[in-house]
Structure 1
Amino acid sequence: MSDVAAYLAGEWTVERALVDLASGTSGIFRGTAVFRASEDGRLLHTEDGELCWDGTTGRAGRTLALLPGADGTCDVTFADGRFFHDLDLRTGSWTVSHPCAADRYEGTFAAVSHDEWLVQWRTTGPSKDHLQRSVYRRARPASRATPAV
C-alpha cells in the first residue's frame, strides 16, 4: 500500500475486544469508524458505537486526526492536536510506541486486505495493564467485478 490516507478513507465497522489484565475485567466495543477529509487537509477518524464493559453497556467514541505526509505515511494526533503516533502501512504493517504519563502504549497495525485491517494496543504501567484488539472491516467493500464490455 502506497498511501495510508487513501487506504483508510471511507467507512469501516469496528469490533474491539478489551481486557484489563490486572483485574480480569473484559469488554467489547462495536461500532463504526469514519475517515473523512477535512478542509484543512487532515483525515478525521471518528468512531462511534456501544461499549459493553463488565456487564454495563453505553455509548462510546473518539476522534483522532491523521496528517498525511507526501510519502504516503501519516502522523496521528488526538482531537486536540497533540501528537499520538506515526503510521506507515506501506509494507502492510507498523509498530508504534506512545508514552502516556507513566504508562506506555505499544501498538501494532496490520493491513490484512483492501477491506480489513487490525490494531492491537498493549498498555503497561503503574495505572494500566490492558490489551485491546480491534478489527476494522470496510462497511462497503469495493467492487472487484470486471466491467462488462
Structure 2
Amino acid sequence: MRGELWPVSDVLAYLAGRWQVERTVRDLADDVTGTFTGTTEFTPLDGPAPQGGLLHFESGVFAWRGTSRPAERTLRYLPGSKDETPGTAVVHFSDGRFFHGLDLRTGHHIADHPCSADLYRGEFTVYDAGRWRTVWRVKGPAKDLRLTTDYRRAADSTAPDDR
C-alpha cells in the first residue's frame, strides 16, 4: 500500500479548487446502498488561499432507497498549528464545531469523530495530484455505515505545482 500513497506537504494548497465527487453510502445493517454524485469546491475563506483556510462546499444529488434529491454540505478547513505541524488542517462544521484534524504529509491519515453514541472513523488516502479518497466507518447503537468517497480534480481546476 505504501507505493500507492502520494505525500502532501500542504493539505490546504492541495485541496484548493474544484473536485468531482462520487460517494457510495452503504448501510451494513440493512444491506442498502445509496450514492451521491456532485462537486466539492474548496475556496478561500479569509485572506489569501490557503493561509486563511478554505471553505468546503459540496453539492450534488443523493440517491437513497429509490429516491433522488439535491444534497449539500459546508465545512471549514483551517490551517493547523504552524509551529507543531505545518501543512496540516483542522476541519470544522459550518456552525464552528470541531470535526477532525487532517494531516496528509504521508499521503494517509485516520481521524476519529465521536458523535453522541456513534463513532465516525475516517481514513484519508491521496493517490496523486488529482485523486484522493475518504472512507468513513460509522458505528453506534443506531448506525452501521460505510461511506466511500472518491475525489477527482475537475478538468477546469489546476493541481498544485508541488506536494
TM-score, shorter chain, exceeding 0.5: yes
Structure 2 residue 19 is the aligned partner of structure 1 residue 4: no
CA contact (8 A) 2:27 2:146 kept: yes
Q: Secondary structure at the match of 2:113?
A: strand
Partner of residue 78 from structure 1, selected from 93, 116, 121: 93
Q: Deviations over 1:73-117 (max 9, x none)?
A: 000000000000000001100001110000000110001100000
1:39 deviates by 1.9
1:142 deviates by 4.0
Partner of residue 23 from structure 2, selected from 1, 11, 16: 16
Distance 1:50 1:104, change over 3 A: same
Partner of residue 48 from structure 1, selected from 59, 65, 88: 59
Asked which structure has the greater RCO (Cα within 8 Å, sep 6+), the reply is: 2
TM-score by length of 1: 0.93
Give the % identical residues: 50
Structure 2 residue 38 is the aligned partner of structure 1 residue 38: no
Q: Give the 5 Å matches for 1:1-149.
A: 1-39=8-46, 41-69=52-80, 70=82, 71-140=86-155, 142=158
Letter in 1 for 2:72: G
Give distance in 1, aligned partners of 2:106 and 2:32: 35
Aligned length: 143
Letter in 2 for 1:87: L
CA contact (8 A) 2:110 2:122 kept: yes
Letter in 2 for 1:23: D
Give distance in 2, aligned partners of 1:103 and 1:131: 13
**Which range moved further: 34-43 or 91-100?**
34-43
RMSD: 1.2
More strand, by proportion: 1
Q: Gapped runs of 5+ residues in structure 2?
A: 1-7
CA contact (8 A) 2:12 2:53 kept: no
Q: Gapped runs of 5+ residues in structure 1?
A: 144-149
Letter in 1 for 2:23: R
1:127 deviates by 1.4
Q: Secondary structure at the match of 1:7?
A: helix
Give distance in 2, aligned partners of 1:12 and 1:118: 11
Moved segments of 4+, more than 3 Å: none
TM-score by length of 2: 0.85
Q: Secondary structure at the match of 2:13?
A: helix
